[in-house]
Every structure is written in C-alpha cells, then in structure tokens.
Amino acid sequence: LSSCVCLEKSEYNTYSYDPTMYGRYTQDLGVYAKEEAARLREGSQRRSVSERSRTLDLLEYDKGRCAKCRICTVRCQKFLISRVGEDWIFLILLGLLMALVSWVVDFCIAICLQAQKWMYGGLDSNVFLQYLAWVTYPVVLITFSAGFTQILAPQAVGSGIPEMKTILRGVVLKEYLTFKTFVAKVIGLTCALGSGMPLGKEGPFVHIASLCAALLSKFMSLFGGIYENESRNIEMLAAACAVGVGCCFAAPIGGVLFSIEVTSTFFAVRNYWRGFFAATFSAFIFRVLAVWNRDEETITALFKTRFRLDFPFDLQELPAFAVIGIASGFGGALFVYLNRLIVQFIRKQKAINKFLMKKRLLYPALVTLLVSTLTFPPGFGQFMAGRLTQKESLVTLLDNRTWAKQGIAEEFDYISHSQAWKHPQVNVFVTLVLFIVMKFWMSALATTIPVPCGAFMPVFVIGAAFGRLVGESMAAWFPDGIHTDGTIYPIVPGGYAVVGAAALSGAVTHTVSTAVIVFELTGQISHILPVMIAVILANAVAQSLQPSLYDSIIRIKKLPYLPELGWGHHEYYNIRVEDIMVRDVRYITLNCCYRDLHDVLLTGHLKTLALVESAESMILLGSIERAQLQSLLSQQLGRPRRLEYIRERAAAEKKRLSVVSNPGSEDGSQRANHEVRFQVREATARGAHISRARFSWFFFCWQFFCSVICPLQSSPSSSLLLFYFLQIAEWEEQQLDEQVNFNNCKIDPAPFQLVERTSLHKTHTIFSLLGLDHAYVTSIGRLIGVVSLKELRKAIEGSVTVKGVKVRPPLASFRDSGTSSSENEATELHKLWDRHKSMSLPREHVPSDSDEKSQ
Amino acid sequence: LSSCVCLEKSEYNTYSYDPTMYGRYTQDLGVYAKEEAARLREGSQRRSVSERSRTLDLLEYDKGRCAKCRICTVRCQKFLISRVGEDWIFLILLGLLMALVSWVVDFCIAICLQAQKWMYGGLDSNVFLQYLAWVTYPVVLITFSAGFTQILAPQAVGSGIPEMKTILRGVVLKEYLTFKTFVAKVIGLTCALGSGMPLGKEGPFVHIASLCAALLSKFMSLFGGIYENESRNIEMLAAACAVGVGCCFAAPIGGVLFSIEVTSTFFAVRNYWRGFFAATFSAFIFRVLAVWNRDEETITALFKTRFRLDFPFDLQELPAFAVIGIASGFGGALFVYLNRLIVQFIRKQKAINKFLMKKRLLYPALVTLLVSTLTFPPGFGQFMAGRLTQKESLVTLLDNRTWAKQGIAEEFDYISHSQAWKHPQVNVFVTLVLFIVMKFWMSALATTIPVPCGAFMPVFVIGAAFGRLVGESMAAWFPDGIHTDGTIYPIVPGGYAVVGAAALSGAVTHTVSTAVIVFELTGQISHILPVMIAVILANAVAQSLQPSLYDSIIRIKKLPYLPELGWGHHEYYNIRVEDIMVRDVRYITLNCCYRDLHDVLLTGHLKTLALVESAESMILLGSIERAQLQSLLSQQLGRPRRLEYIRERAAAEKKRLSVVSNPGSEDGSQRANHEVRFQVREATARGAHISRARFSWFFFCWQFFCSVICPLQSSPSSSLLLFYFLQIAEWEEQQLDEQVNFNNCKIDPAPFQLVERTSLHKTHTIFSLLGLDHAYVTSIGRLIGVVSLKELRKAIEGSVTVKGVKVRPPLASFRDSGTSSSENEATELHKLWDRHKSMSLPREHVPSDSDEKSQ
C-alpha cells in the first residue's frame, strides 16, 4: 500500500451496507478492506510471477526449430502488455464497452415497450382484458427486477450517483463494484425501464460505467501492474462517471460536466481530459451503432429539434423564461422534498414497514399497480397522454409546432404521437397540467422502488411539459409573436419546453450542466441564453430550499458526507477552527502503559488516536489507528498470553502437587499432564464461544480451574481458588502496568494539521480537497484539539453560534423538518453507549454508531 | 492574516517584474507583500471604523426633527451594506462592467477599422498614397499602443493568461492588478486591435476581467469587511477569468470551461457556479447591448452559421475530420514553437537586442510595417484576401456555401465579403493556402509585439481557413456528396471550417473546451462529434510535442510553474518521493546557537528552513522563514548591538584613558565624549554605504578605531589596535555561541509533510492541489528530506533515472531544443553562487536565482 500522508484512502472505513432506502450503513474498522486489498494484490502478483516463469519454462523446454518464432511472439506479447498500461487504451475499451451496453439496454427496453403496446393493441376487443394486460406487464417486470436485484446484489438498487460520490470521496463501499452488482444492475435496469414506469437510466448508467471501469481494470491487471494503483483507479472511476452520462444521452460534453458537478467538489483538470476522451468515443460508438442499425441516416442528436435559426426568440420573451426558471426551482425543491417524505413516511410507519420488509416485493408491485392503473389509456390515461412512452412524450413536447394556437386545440395538424395530447372534450392545457401533476408525484414515488433506476429522465420530461405549458400559453396570448418591427415571428413553444426541461432537471440535481446536456440532446444551441438564465435561477431557488436529490439520498442512506458551502455566506470566513474544534482530544503518550491504552480505548470510539510525546509537552508525533492499538493490547493481554500464563501456572501447580502427592509414579504424572493439555484445549474451545467481556473471562477461568486444577488436587479448598483468582488478577494488573512498545505498530507520521486560526471556509476546502476524515489542531507542535467531519458538518449546517454569528442557511427551518430525526437518534445512541460502558474489556471489533442505531 | 497551515498564500514570494518578453523576474522574500497587505488592511479597518463613528457622531449632534428620518436612512444603509457583501451582487456588477467594457472596446475597434478602410478607399486615385495610408495607420496605432503601455504600466503587455495562471496558483505578482494596468490594458488593446494586425482580444480580456474583479473588490471593501478576505478574492479571480472569455465571445459555457482548463490544475466546483453565473450575465448584457444598438434583431450567436440540420455530415466524412484534427495538432505545436523561437532569436542576438531595447518602439513599428505591407490589397494582399478584417474573414470562412464546386472558382455566387477570396487569375485553393501560410507566421510574429494582445483569435481564423481548405477539397472531390442512399447531400465546407477552427485553437492552447466555444460562437451544435474528435486528436498530438502557448510563455517569462503530468506515463506511479528528494536538508535545532544559524544561512538559499528538536532525534517541529532567522541574527549581531558594544568599549576606554591622562578636566572629557558620539554617528553613516560583507565590517571597525580611539590616545600603538581587534572578535564569537531564543520568532507549526513512499503522482497532486512550494519528507516524525518545486519539475520533465525507468515524455528531445538554454544558465548560476560564497556574512536580502542570472 502506498503510504501517503493524507490521501491515504484506506484510512477510511469500509461500509458494509444494506443498500435499500431502509438500510443503514455499518462500519468496521477498515481492516477488512485493507486485508482484502493486500490479499488481492498478493494474489495477482503471485499469479503474474508464476505466469511469467511458466512462459520461460515453456521456452526453455521447447528449444526446437520454432524457438525463434516463439521468442519473437513473447517479445511482441511483452510489448503489447506494456502498451496495455496506457490510459488511452483503457479509456477506449471503456468507451466501447459502455456504448455497447447502452445500446443493448436501449434496444431491449424498446422491445419490452413494443411488446406491451402490442399486447395492449391486440386485446382491444375487451377493455378489462386490455387493462389486465396493461397492468400485469409492468407489475411482473418490476417485481422481477426488484426480486432479481434483491437476490443477486442489493447494492444495485437505486441511482448509484450518491454512492459514486461517496466512493470518489475516498470511502470504500463494500461489494459495490463487483461483477454480480454489474449483472444485477444491467438486467434490473432493463426490466425496470421496459415496464414503462417513469424511471430514468442516467443515474444507473453512471454506476454501470463505474462498474465497467472497475471490472475492466481488474481484468487488465492480469497484464500489467499499473492497474493495481489505487489513486489511478479513482481517476478512472471519475472518467467512467463521465462516460456513463455521455453514452446514455450521446452527450459527451454535458456528460463530463454533469458528472463533475454531481460527484466532485474539487476536480483535477487532468481527469477532465480523460472524461472527454472516453465520453466522446463512447457517444460516437453509441450513435454509430444506431446508424449501422439503420435507425438513423447519420449521426445526429437523440431528440433532434428543428427550431428556426435566424430568430430563435425575442428579447421580450426573457421574463417568461425567467418565470420558468424560478418556478422550476420551487418545483425541483418540492420534488426532492416529496421523494424524501415518501421514504421517511414508509420508514416511520412501523406496521407498514414490518409488513413490507417481510414481503419485500409487495411494495414495488403495489406502486407499479397504482401508477399503471392511472395511466391506462382508455381510463384516466386519456387525459394525460398515458399511452406515450417517456421517449415519445419527450419527442412530442419538443415539437417545433404550436399545439394551441389562439386557444383552439383543433387548429394544429397532429401527426403520429402528437395525437395523444389531443382529447375531444378537453383542452390541451388541461392535458398538460394533468400530465405535469400526475407525473410529478408518480416519479417521486416510483424512484423509491428498490430497483435500479434514476430520476433524471422523468424530471426532464416533467420540466419539458411545464415549459411547453408556458410556451403554449404565451403562444395563445401573443398569436403573432411579440416582435413589433414588421416581420411576424410566432412564438415557438418547443423552445420553452427545452428551457423547462433544463431548468427542472437542473433544480433537482443542483447542476447547471443540464443546459449543455439539453443542447446536445436536441442538437440546437440557439436558445442558449434563455436556458442558461432559467437554469441559474432554478438552481439559485432550489439550492436555498433543499439539498440536491443525490445529497438527499446520501443523507437518507446515512453515507458519510460533507455539506457544500452555500455561496454568499461570508460568516464562513469569520468562524475559526478554534470555535468548532473538540478540545478534549483522546491521545496516548509515547511512554504510556497498557492501562492507559486500555482506558483510552474504552472511553472513546474514534477511528484514529493522536500520539503525543508526553502529557506535559503535548507535541504531536503522529496518529495511530484504533485497530493497531487493539492489536497491541491483545498481544499483551489477549487470550494466547493469558492461556500461556495459566498453562504455566497449572504446570507449576501440577508439578508441585505431583511432587507432594505421588513423587514416584512417572507415567501417572504423564497421564495427568495429557489430561491437563486436553482439558486446556477443551476449555479454550468452550471459552471461544463466550462473549469477550471480562466477566466471561472470569467465568472461563473458573471453568478452567474447576476442570484442570481441581481434579489434580483431591480436596480443592475455596481459599485456594480465591488465591488463584487473586494471583491472576495481580498478573493482569502487572501486565497492564508495563510500558507500551510501539515498535511493531504502524504510525501515520504526518496526520493532517490545522492551526487554531484557520477559517471554517479554508477548513472545508482542505477537507473536501483531500477527502479528510479528521484533522488535528496544533499550536507550535502542541496538540490542542481535533476537528472531524462531524464538527464541520455541524458548523456548516447551523448549530454552532459563535461571536454572535448564527451560521444557518436561509430557510433552513424548512429543511430541518426533513432531517429532524437525526437528533433523536443521537440521544438514543448515547443511551446505548452508556449501557455499553458497563461492560469493561475493550472489544476487538467496536461496532459503529450506525450499527447500534439500527438495533 | 488568516494563518492556515498550507494554503497560506503569503508563503510565496512576491515577484517584482519587468513584464516584456525580455524581462526576468526577481524575487524578494514575500516580506513586502505581507507588509503591504497588513498596511492595507489596517488602513481600511481604521477608515471604516472612523467612518462609522462619524456617522454616529452626526446622529448624536443632529437630534432635530428629522432625527428619525436619519436613523432610518442609516439603517437602510447598513442593510444595503450587509447585502453588498453577497457574492451575487459582486458577480452581477462584474458581469455588467465587463460586458460594457467588451462592448465599448469592440465598438472602438470597429470604428478604427472603418476609419482605415475609409482612408484607403478615399485615396484610390494614387496607389502610393493608398499604400502610405494603409501602412501608416497601423504603424501609428501599434506604436502608440506599445508606447502607452510601456509608460503607464508595462505589466499590461501580452496576453495575461500566463500571469493569471501564476496568480491563481497563489503567487503574488506585484503591480499586476492595479488601476493603472487596467487603463493601459484597455486602451492599449483597443489601439492594437484597431490597427488590423492579426491579434486577439481573448487573452487580454481574461486579464481585464481579473483587473475589474480586483478593483471592484477593492472598491467594495469600502462598504464591507468580507472583501478583504484573501481566499475569497482568489475565488473571485477564478470567476473573473470565466467572465473575461464569456463576454469576449458571448460564450458563457465555453468561457467557464476554457478559463478552467487554461488557468487551473484543480478546480473547486463551487467556483464553477460563480463563473457560470457571472459569465452568463455578462454574455447576456453584451448581446443585449448589440440589440439595443440595432446591430442585431435579437440575441443570437456572434458568428452565426446556417448549416442544414437534418444531415449535417456523413459518417464517411469522419476520416477527413480526423485528418484535420491531426494536422491541426502538428500545426498548433509548430505555432507554439515558432512563437518561442522568434522570442529567443531576438533575445539571443545581442546586437539586435541592444538596439531594440534602446529604441523600444522600433520593433513593434518594424513588425507592423512588414505585416501591413504584405497584406496591402493591391499588392500581395490580393492573393490572400488581405482587405478583409479578421472578423470578416471568419464570417466568410464559416459560410455555408461551397466556393469551389467542381474546382471551378467562377461558379459560386459571391456576395459582399466573399468576393475578396476570388481572384481572376488564381484558384481559390491557392488563395486559401497563401492565407494560411502567411497568416501563420504573421500571427506568431505579431503576438511577440509588446502590446496587450492575445493569440487565440488569429489562430482560430487560421484553423477555420485550414478547415475550409480541406472542406473545399472534399467538395471538389465528391461533388454530389458521399452518401449513396439516393438523396444527394452535398458536402458543407463551412462545417469543416468550424472543425478546423476548434482543432487548431485547441491544439495551441491545449484545451478541449474550444469545441464548446465554437458551438456558442456559431450558434450550431450539429457538428459536435466531428469537432470533438478533431479537438481531441489535435490535443493528443500537440500535447506530446510542445507545451501549450501559455505554458510556453510562462517558461519564457520564467514564472514559477509546475509542469502537468502528461497522461499515459505510469512511471509516475512507480517513482517515490525518496527517489527525488534532497536528503541533505538544511535545518536548525531548537537548542542551536547563533553560530549554527549563521552557518546555515550562509550555505543555503532556501526560503524556509526546517526546525528540528535536535540533530540526533531529527523530530520536525516546524519551519521558519529565512527572513525571520535573519532578523534573529541581526538582533543578536547586527549593527545596533555592535555599535552599542563598541560605544561601551570606547566609553570605558576613554574613561580609562582620561583617568590616566587628565583626571581633572571635566569639560574636556565631555567634549571628547561629544566628539566620540559625533564620530560614531559619522562612521555609522559611512559604514551604511559599504557592503555588508564581513571584511567591510572590519574596515568599518578600523575606520572607527582610527577616528575615535586614536585621537584620544596620543600615540596609538599597533599592538593596541590588534588588541582591540581581538577583543571585538572575541565578543563576536561569544555572541555567536549564545543559544538562540526562538520566542519572538514566527514558526509555521505544521509545514506540509510527505512520507518517503509517496508516489510522484500523489506528490504532484498534492503540490498542485495546495499550491505548495516545498514539502518535508518525514519518517515517524523524523525529518529525512525535502522536496521542492524544482525537484518535482526535474523529475517530471525527465532528468531523473530511478529503478531503470527513464522518466521522459515521448519526443521530449524535440521539446528540449527549445529550452536547452536553461541548463547553461543553471551552470552559470552555480559559478556565480560559488563566487558569491567567498563573501562571508549573510546578506539580509538574498537575491534570487533569476536576479543573478540577469546580471
């Protein structure tokens, strides 16, 4: 393991994790991850070495006529292998793979949706049968998808962007980048989207691309050593995220930007190249496949628009675009809020929760039934264009013709799918409003189903519908356009749809790059200024109300996170580290004894502890991981040493006794010795099953004495037992008083340090730059405090009041209602912890907070 | 000053600097910058406090009838002031200001160019007069521009992007962000571009926007304290760079991306928002001004194209686009190389250089004369569309009609400016080739003129011409297009021009965001895939051959820089810090004496020195700036203390002598005392003019003794003098042997530390993330080495061979020929340094490397 100072990723914890929305994360001390990594590395090294030696053996063995030929081949092979290490080969392979996956998934989804239409169309004689077909098909698909992912890899559930953000921050999420997850995600996603529910493929594609990258680099590491480098893999994951978005929308630039905004807080410009390269290649192949498949004549945009170029919009239409932006901002915040509310409602209702947890597939089936019943075309669906798939409705919404010129729905010439928006009795405005309202809650609900799914595309469609609504209203209001200089330029509602789509999806995800995605999706950039203005306004509104959808999921899933600094809060510059740091630092000194170690391990639960020179000087020398200390302590006072001591004692005792009782019989003493050994082993085995708290240790000792010592002595007196107990206790105390030997202990010699005057703003920057978990605060080498992610989070989210400045984002009260449960949990945790303290020996695996909370 | 651990900007040096290409940077120890900053801060605080108290006084005094009214006003004012601190107000103001500046500059340039055309057109009776007018006009403008900037602010010369990159890295460039520079840059730029030379406005606009931001925040700091925060200002500068590009091209997205790529290595996503917001607002206002001025009917792109939407290009045209990309890559590298070659040629030719330096305005005038003579329309200019301005030629090049259908130039219908490309005798291909070749070297030459100018736009135009050339050739080759499926889609040469422009400008600047800029400039995104492919290929080629234009200028100007890690070099992961670090670290111990301090200061020239506990333990306690140590030493052994000692000695001596010679006369002794004091003062004054080396100190002592002691004694014996000398030497030795008192010394308690196993890749990441200058290498708290920017640079650019890996980018030999001079300089420096060592007292201001080199 490369042992860098502060970018050391394995300082972080591994989260073993139940990835449904109801799940919580449990953490164990990064040990597993390290061991796993070491094992893998060792394994692959051994493999490659053995492989190479085998090749040479072969060469040696086969010194026939084609030896030269073989040598040449081996050399070529070596050259190829050295080339394989190049980044660009990896990126091209990744792009190719993802383009293929994306295309195949799209193809399968299209077939699924066609099948549903065919079934529905074929049964048009009987409405009930039609309904059954319309409803059963998605229910079956969604249930299968949910069940399949649940069984194969529960990690595949959901969008994947929140988890990728966490992984890119340096946290190791277990089982998150495995082949099983890949299979579950791809098949689950295809089924889920094939059902026609309002779900998206963008978030999952980010995850799939990362899976591809991880698996590819695992595969490539068979050839070259470079693929084992950890920081390189992180960089490749960042590029993979860009590829995911890029090949999903055929939008390379937007993909790169979106993935940056969504997954990073600090971005290396050199990764940006990688992302561009891979995403462009991927988008290119993705579109070329469409051309080869005769779907398209040449490479064009996915949702091509044909707005006029010479006069795309009037300057006086800008207020309308601004209104779309602001309304989308509120809408986006509402969507995030609604989504979280649904999750929390289901979680809180214990009765429902219990029932749903038992029958895990019932919830998806129920939600699907509800949604598909409402969209049933001959039923309510006729008022909300229910028979259109997501793609079809987007195409119609971006249409460059006006639907409701002068308010009369009859006037426009419907073609193909646009027909669906027309209803003989109902105005097109009503249809649009119904579509927006229904799809809004349906999407918020559908994205809580435990299947692989994203929320980007549904939100995008809703935004387009909202934009179309505003555009149609404008067109009805100004039938001849606003421009007054002679020429008539009618208003283009399709342009409004583009603006609305970008604004709403931008508001939900807190990104501005949706603007770029929208240009790349439609193939036209003429509306750049309205789109940018609307997206920025939407972001400004949404960011002041709610976290982004991905951050919201991160909080729901209790992944470790660092909130963003909202901008415009210059209090951040005035708060100093000394205001927020924890002054009562747990530390160990260089000359401490095992007793201190023991006490420190008992009282705190930090993952790393500071090592100082002495309690007086407090000069910080480094930090030690808790696991290291625990292994030190267990070396000194663990079962092996204890057993050894007892065995020694027993042997001495036995000798003494045998000398006293029967000095002559040699074989008898041998037999007794045998017996002692056997019983020691038996007692050890028994003891291993018992919990490790101290009382059990005494119990174990008691057993041991009863079984080993007592048989040797004909009449065991209670005073003798007491004497043994005291002796053991004395030995223990003696062991604890010895000075700790740090020689074989891994010490991080340069933990990250801050000084007390560092501002909160700078601290946040450093934490997010380096992906820190905690930092020590020192004053000329003296340790005076510690700041961890928790304190930082608290200070930013507003529960610290210093110097009269209340650090609280505006409208935070609105936000609080969503996350108030966390404080209750904290108090519960405290109780648990207090109860826990009564057990006095340090456990080897300290369960984390979340572990206890989930009890 | 906020005292952060490692982002402390004032750790860096201030560069006082002669910003012409011929200039070098000199550095002094950051002290000036700190004092300046402290002065400014103190001043503004005092001012704001006094202002506030004055308002209150006024209130107190004026308790008449309108007191309430006044209180209300003051409250409103306070509220407004608190609002002024918000980021968005600052960003809107910045955007507005820059849009106005950009528009006004454009307007003035247009007028200048019109005036030239008018003059040229009016004199069509006489070719010689026409020539005179054509040539004189630009010569006068360029000479004025060069002279004006030279006199007012030489810092305004050149593009400004290299300097902004350096500033954003945390280096303080003196006088670079002042009002004078702003005026010089704006007026100089207007004149330079008004002359019609092949120069661009993009680079200077980045600088102008940064100037605007700096001045605006200085102005705003009158209202609120937040504007004094340093890290906030850096963030605002990053946003300003985006605004600069954004309002120059009306390309907000491309502007943000381009500025990120060009100025940053690591980018905070939160600054990205700021950039987007400000750049969008600025671009919006910039285009709205055009609409209000009746130049445009509505907001559209600057260089609008009208390519067909349904079939923008055929899949089989992609190889042609790829060829454009690769050729542009070579072309871009050649441009950078040529540009540097010209600068170095002029610098090396001592005779030319001397002459040019004397008559600073001659070089610009000569270059302008040459270029404008060659473009004279009735002369050679007729074969290269010489009468078109840069803007006009770009518009014609992006035209969507084919110029040379089937190879016959006559066939296409010329309108307006396109006429210029037609020549009765010469084929349009010849015109294009001549245009490309001539403009290529002209642009490379013109950008070396010491006026405010950029190279982006000229390169962009050349790229468009190259693309047009390829496109026209393709159109001539395939008159009916390549597509074979019945429909005829003729080839669009304008699309090739777009691709060529993006590819060449991307190759010169090493950016991919030129693709986005091109979409925003043309208002069409239909060619996204060809453009992306060409840009990526061009970048891949250019990056492996040459540094970017901006990095090249950074090297020419000898600004501090850290080379990028090219990608695909996985050796970077295998090299460890221990391979490149300097093991022989200069350090001081906690209990060292002044003699050690003195020796350490003499032997090294690092800016900071490590403080360790003791030479045995080597535990790193912190780092101390050289200046701090020098002040410590001078406190102990400086002139004041020496004089004090001598005065004491003299007084004692005098007393002894006066007691011996004339014990009675009291007033005589007083007079003598007076005399002594006077002469001490005189001698001090004299000594101050003499260099500070030790021999001068002895000389000074000698003078002192001759003038002070000798007159007192009637017969000064040489033995007595020797005795005095020895006594003083003894005193000095005694002083040097005292232990250093670090109490009043500023120590950085937590300098950045690495461990020896950290990879080069990680080290580079950390250095560029945190903008470090050097980092200590420790092993469990023990200092074992130091790595500075220099070692890192050396390791990356390939002069370190470790573990058999030669870290050398491919084709580096080609690159070396350009920068080979640096090694010679290094050896010269070494000689100078060795010579320098012979002078033995530490100087208070150690001149930097570059300072000595320029001798």
Helix orientation angle between B789-797 and B760-770, rounded to the nearest 10 degrees: 130
**Contact map slice: B 272-291 vs A, CB within 8 A:** 272-274, 276-277, 280, 283-284, 287-288, 291
Residues in chain A within 8 Å Cβ distance of B806: none
pLDDT tens-place string over residues B477-508: 888 777 767 777 888 888 999 999 999 999 99
Distance of alpha carbon B648 from alpha carbon A226, whole angstroms: 71
Question: Where exactly are the structural domains of chain B?
Answer: 82-293, 315-364+379-404+418-557
Give the position of tokens 């590009």.
B245
Size of interface A-B (CB pairs under 8 A): 285
Residue B415, SS3? coil
Which of the residues A567, A590, A619, A752 would you substitute to probe the B interface, choosing the one with the greatest number of B C-beta atoms within 10 Å? A567
Quickly name the fold that domain A315-364+379-404+418-557 has. Answer: Clc chloride channel (1.10.3080)
pLDDT at B37 over 50: no
Which tokens belong to B514?
């030129």
Rounded to an integer, the average pLDDT of B175-186 is 90
Lowest-confidence segment of A514-528, B372-386, B522-536 by average pLDDT: B372-386
pLDDT at A470 over 90: yes
Q: Please give the pLDDT value at position A87.
A: 77
pLDDT at B296 over 70: yes
Rounded to an integer, the average pLDDT of B574-589 is 79
Question: Closest by alpha carbon to A287, among A517, A103, A544, A27?
Answer: A103
- Which one-letter DSSP state was computed for residue B846? -
Q: Please give the pLDDT value at position B542.
A: 92
Lowest-confidence segment of A600-609, B225-234, B547-556 by average pLDDT: B225-234
- Are residues B716 and B536 in contact, defined by beta-carbon separation less than 8 angstroms? no
Report yes or no: B137 at the A interface, CB cutoff 8 Å.
no
Rounded to an integer, the average pLDDT of B96-102 is 93
Residues in chain B within 8 Å Cβ distance of A749: 753, 755, 778-782
Residue B565 has its nearest CB partner, among A270, A313, A750, at A270
State the pLDDT confidence band at A674, using cuts at 50, 70 and 90. Answer: low
Distance of alpha carbon A594 from alpha carbon A682, whole angstroms: 30
More confident residue, B31 or A174: A174
Question: Closest by alpha carbon to B433, among B384, B484, B400?
Answer: B384
Which tokens belong to B191?
């004149």
State the pLDDT confidence band at B618, using cuts at 50, 70 and 90. Answer: confident
Rounded to an integer, the average pLDDT of B627-643 is 75
Residues in chain A within 8 Å Cβ distance of B782: 749
Rounded to an integer, the average pLDDT of A196-208 is 91
Inter-chain touch B267–A269, beta carbons under 8 Å: yes
- Are residues A105 and A201 in contact, defined by beta-carbon separation less than 8 angstroms? yes
Q: How many CA atoms does the CB half-sphere of A207 hold within 13 Å?
A: 32
State the pLDDT confidence band at B819, using cuts at 50, 70 and 90. Answer: very low
Instruction: Please tell me which residue of chain B has the smallest CA distance to A253.
Output: B516
pLDDT tens-place string over residues A744-777: 777 776 677 777 777 777 787 777 777 777 888 8
Q: Please give the pLDDT value at position A673.
A: 53
Shortest Cα distance, chain B CAs vs residue A124, angstroms: 37
| Residue B478 phi, psi (nearest 5) | -115, 85
Distance of alpha carbon A227 from alpha carbon A217, whole angstroms: 6
Residues in chain B within 8 Å Cβ distance of A519: 519, 525
Report yes or no: B599 at the A interface, CB cutoff 8 Å.
no
Inter-chain touch A520–B520, beta carbons under 8 Å: no
Q: Please give the pLDDT value at position B415.
A: 52
Inter-chain touch B781–A266, beta carbons under 8 Å: no
Q: Please give the pLDDT value at position A721.
A: 62
Report yes or no: A295 at the B interface, CB cutoff 8 Å.
no
Q: Please give the pLDDT value at position B853.
A: 37
pLDDT at B644 over 50: yes
State the pLDDT confidence band at B729, using cuts at 50, 70 and 90. Answer: confident
Which of the residues B81, B169, B295, B298 would you substitute to probe the A interface, choosing the one with the greatest number of A C-beta atoms within 10 Å? B298
Distance of alpha carbon A779 from alpha carbon A75, whole angstroms: 58
State the pLDDT confidence band at B14, using cuts at 50, 70 and 90. Answer: very low
pLDDT tens-place string over residues A59-99: 555 555 567 787 888 877 776 666 666 778 888 999 999 99
Which range scores top for mean pLDDT: A174-188, A287-301, A723-737, B267-281? A174-188
Question: Closest by alpha carbon to B290, among B106, B111, B416?
Answer: B106
Number of Cβ within 10 Å of residue B496's Cβ equals 30
pLDDT at B814 over 50: no
N-to-C CA span, chain B: 35
Shortest Cα distance, chain B CAs vs residue A256, angstroms: 11
Distance of alpha carbon B539 from alpha carbon B520, whole angstroms: 20
**Contact map slice: B 425-464 vs A, CB within 8 A:** none
Q: What percent of chain A has pLDDT over 90?
A: 21
Give the position of tokens 């492989």.
A51
pLDDT tens-place string over residues B55-96: 555 555 555 556 778 788 887 777 666 666 677 888 899 999
Q: Please give the pLDDT value at position B9.
A: 35
Instruction: Please tell me which residue of chain B has the smallest CA distance to A258.
Output: B269
**Contact map slice: B 76-105 vs A, CB within 8 A:** 85-88
Q: Please give the pLDDT value at position A72.
A: 82
**Contact map slice: B 764-803 vs A, CB within 8 A:** 765-766, 769-770, 778-782
Q: Do domains A82-293 and A315-364+379-404+418-557 have the same CATH topology?
A: yes
Shortest Cα distance, chain A CAs vs residue B399, angstroms: 15
Distance of alpha carbon A221 from alpha carbon A46, whole angstroms: 12
Name residue B569's amino acid: H
More confident residue, B813 or B147: B147
Rounded to an integer, the average pLDDT of B339-348 is 88
Inter-chain touch B265–A270, beta carbons under 8 Å: yes
Number of Cβ within 10 Å of residue A522's Cβ equals 26
Name residue A328's amino acid: S
Q: Please give the pLDDT value at position B757.
A: 72
State the pLDDT confidence band at A539, using cuts at 50, 70 and 90. Answer: very high
Inter-chain touch A525–B519, beta carbons under 8 Å: yes
Inter-chain touch A749–B274, beta carbons under 8 Å: no
Rounded to an integer, the average pLDDT of B689-700 is 47
Question: Closest by alpha carbon to A314, among B298, B285, B283, B286?
Answer: B298
Residue A269 has its nearest CB partner, among B260, B755, B780, at B260
Give the full edge-to-edge strand order of the sheet including B753-754.
B753-754, B774-779, B782-788
Inter-chain touch B769–A769, beta carbons under 8 Å: yes
Which tokens belong to A520?
């790349």
Rounded to an integer, the average pLDDT of B694-721 is 56
- Which one-letter DSSP state was computed for residue B589? E
Shortest Cα distance, chain B CAs vs residue A457, angstroms: 22
pLDDT at A49 over 60: no
pLDDT mean across residues, chain A: 74
Inter-chain touch B525–A529, beta carbons under 8 Å: no
More confident residue, B89 or B404: B89
Residues in chain A within 8 Å Cβ distance of B287: 529
Shortest Cα distance, chain B CAs vs residue A296, angstroms: 10
Q: Please give the pLDDT value at position A370.
A: 92
Residues in chain A within 8 Å Cβ distance of B270: 265, 564-565, 567
Distance of alpha carbon B840 from alpha carbon B673, whole angstroms: 34
Instruction: Please tell me which residue of chain A has the smallest CA distance to B569.
Output: A86
pLDDT at B793 over 90: no
pLDDT at A841 over 70: no
Inter-chain touch A299–B315, beta carbons under 8 Å: yes
- Are residues B854 and B37 in contact, defined by beta-carbon separation less than 8 angstroms? no
Distance of alpha carbon B508 from alpha carbon A390, whole angstroms: 43
- CA A58 to centroid of chain Cα atoms: 46
pLDDT at B684 over 70: no
* Helices assigned H by DSSP within A62-160: 67-84, 87-122, 127-152
Shortest Cα distance, chain B CAs vs residue A430, angstroms: 32
Distance of alpha carbon B19 from alpha carbon A271, whole angstroms: 32
B173 DSSP β-pair partners: B15
Distance of alpha carbon A602 from alpha carbon A839, whole angstroms: 9
State the pLDDT confidence band at B824, using cuts at 50, 70 and 90. Answer: very low
Instruction: Please tell me which residue of chain B has the smallest CA distance to A317.
Output: B298
- ipTM for the assembly: 0.73
pLDDT at B196 over 50: yes
Q: Please give the pLDDT value at position A15.
A: 42
Shortest Cα distance, chain B CAs vs residue A745, angstroms: 11
> Residues of A628-660 as b/e, b for ≥16 C-beta within 10 angstroms?
bbbbbbeebbeeeebbebbbebbeebbeebbee
Class of the CATH-defined domain B82-293: mainly alpha
pLDDT at B267 over 90: no
Inter-chain touch B274–A304, beta carbons under 8 Å: no
More confident residue, A400 or B253: B253
More confident residue, B528 or A652: B528
Sign, CA dihedral B359-B361-B363-B369, equals negative
